[in-house]
Structure formats: structure tokens, C-alpha cells
Amino acid sequence: MSGIHLHYDVPGDDFTRAGEASGSVKKALRQLGIPAEVIRKVAIAMYEGEINMVIHAYGGTVDVEVTGEDITMVLKDTGPGIEDIDRAMTAGYSTAPDNVRSLGFGAGMGLPNMKKYTDEMTVESEVGVGTTVTMKVYITPKA
Amino acid sequence: MTVQDIKEILECEVITKDTDLSREVHTACGSDMMSDVLAFVKDQSVLLTGLINPQVVRTADMMDMVCIVFVRGKEPNEDVVELAEERGIVMMKTRYRMFTACGLLYDNGLRGGCER
């Protein structure tokens, strides 16, 4: 099992559909026989990322690469970008509008949760251009 | 404790069709903030919430939760119920408010699962 690639478009205008891609990835990984603990980490990290894309960036794309060793997710958007990445990574810090909080999100836990559940994570962002988040989860823990 | 026990303790009405009430649950979590729910992974959990949008089901699904209990007698629309049925998640509603519902379950042995 090497080099399986999945691609998803995340629509930016429909909050009710946010998480569809993560749900599909979860199902696909289960069919590939990936351990449940690994699937859960991938699903949660990607779901948070997807929610971020819908709240902040009018949607985007997700590319998932599955190899024998790890699962890599690349979430790319052409949204407003993140001004201060360090601050955005701080638990509890949020720039989400109030209406998002009434939907159960915007607690400032998105990026911290994504970091928590992945083994590697990088955030590249340019204000006015967009954001790319790359996350990796190891299938077999590295020593 | 099983999902059936929760149904009895909270005097719940089951909303989803053809769902399995015999599944064992050990831990639960009560929150209207889905991001906070996602911050703590624990097996076989129950989610108590007053939020009724589709993201409640998606959050429960990502966390491999088996049961969602809506507090304060809230009930989601059909699309949300269907989403739960597709995923085999039991959905119930109780007239109790969040604090009381959580307290009753805790009193009967269910725990949070993330106490340190």
C-alpha cells in the first residue's frame, strides 16, 4: 500500500457541509485498514482544518496522501491569510465572528487541536494571498 | 453502562431509527462548543449538547462517539437525524437541562474520561 492520493474541494459558502471531506477520508482510511487511533487523529485534524477553511477562507482544497508509513494532509485556501501565526496557534485565541460561536466553533482551539493530533504540522500564510497547512500523522510511531 | 441505561436515567426519547441501544459507554462529555469536544479524545463516548446543527453529528463521528443526547428537549431537523442514522450514532433527547443531565449520569457511574 503506497502512494494513495485523495483530493477534495471544500465549498466555502455552506457551513452545514463542512466536514464532508473529513468524513470521506475517515471512511477511505478505514477501508485501507489503517488503525483506528491513527484514523481518529487524521479525521479530527482535517475536520478542524475544514471548519477553518469555511469560517475564514471561503473554502479551499484538501489533498491527502497515504503511504505505508504516514498520512499527509495539505489544506490550501486562497483566503485572507493569517496575520500572526504564533497568536493563531495560541489556545483560546480566535478571530472568528460571533455567529460562528453559536454554531459550536470559534473557541480558538482549531489550530492548537490540529497540532495536538498530528505528528508534524507547518502553516504557511500570506495576508491577502492565502494559507496552506500541511499535517502529517505517522501510522507507525517513530522512535 | 449502556446507551439503554442512559435512556432510562435521563428519561430520553430516542430520535434515530433502528439504532443499537445495547452498546457499552464508559465516558461522556457535555458541551455546546464542538471545538472543546474535539480537544479530548476518549473511546466510546456520549455527547450531551444543546446544539442541534449537523456539525454535532460530524464531531461525534470524528470522535467515534456512539450516542448524542440533546438536552433541554431540543430536537434537530430530519437531515441531521439522517446523518446520525447513516453513521450508526444513537440520538436521544431529554427534558433535563445540561447540568442536571450530566449530574444524573455522573451519579450513576459515568465519568468524564479526561480528568487528571
Q: From the candidates B42, B62, B74, which should be mutated to test the interface with A, based on the most A CB atoms within 10 A? A: B62
Query: Which chain B residues are Cβ-neighbours of A110 within 8 angstroms?
Result: 35
C-alpha cell at B60: 461525534
Cell 426519547 sits on residue: B13
Answer yes or no: is B98 within a domain: yes
On the 0-12 / 13-18 / 19+ scale of CB atoms within 10 A, A74 is: middle
Which amino acid is located at B113 in the chain?
Answer: G
CA distance A108 to A90: 7
Q: What is the ipTM of this complex?
A: 0.86
Question: Cβ of A23 and B58 within 8 Å?
Answer: yes
Q: Could you read off the pLDDT of A103-114 as tens digits, one per residue?
A: 899 989 999 999
Answer yes or no: is B56 within a domain: yes
CA distance A90 to A118: 16
Q: Per CATH, which fold does A4-138 belong to?
A: Heat Shock Protein 90 (3.30.565)
Range of the domain at B59: 3-107
CA distance B44 to B64: 7
Please answer whether residues A126 and A81 qualify as being in contact, where contact means their C-beta atoms are separated by less than 8 angstroms: yes
On the 0-12 / 13-18 / 19+ scale of CB atoms within 10 A, B82 is: middle
Cell 480566535 sits on residue: A94
For chain B, the domain total comes to: 1
Nearest CB among A15, A44, A109 relative to B62 is that of: A44
- The pLDDT of residue B114 is 66
Query: Which chain B residues are Cβ-neighbours of A15 within 8 angstroms?
Result: 53, 55
Question: Cβ of B56 and A47 within 8 Å?
Answer: no
* Cα nearest neighbour of B43 on chain A: A37
Q: Could you read off the pLDDT of A7-60 as tens digits, one per residue?
A: 999 998 788 889 999 999 999 999 999 999 999 999 999 999 999 999 999 999
Query: Which chain B residues are Cβ-neighbours of A101 within 8 angstroms?
Result: 33
- The pLDDT of residue A6 is 96
CATH of the domain at B66: 3.40.1390.20
Answer yes or no: is B12 within a domain: yes
Q: What angle do CA A22, A25, A28 make, to 5 degrees?
A: 155
* Cα nearest neighbour of B87 on chain A: A23
Answer yes or no: is B8 within a domain: yes
Q: Could you read off the pLDDT of B74-113 as tens digits, one per residue?
A: 999 999 999 999 999 999 999 999 999 999 999 999 988 7
Res. B41 pLDDT band, cuts 50 70 90: low
- The pLDDT of residue B18 is 87
Q: Is the pLDDT of residue B43 over 80?
A: no
The β-bridge relationship of strands A130-138 and A120-126 is: antiparallel
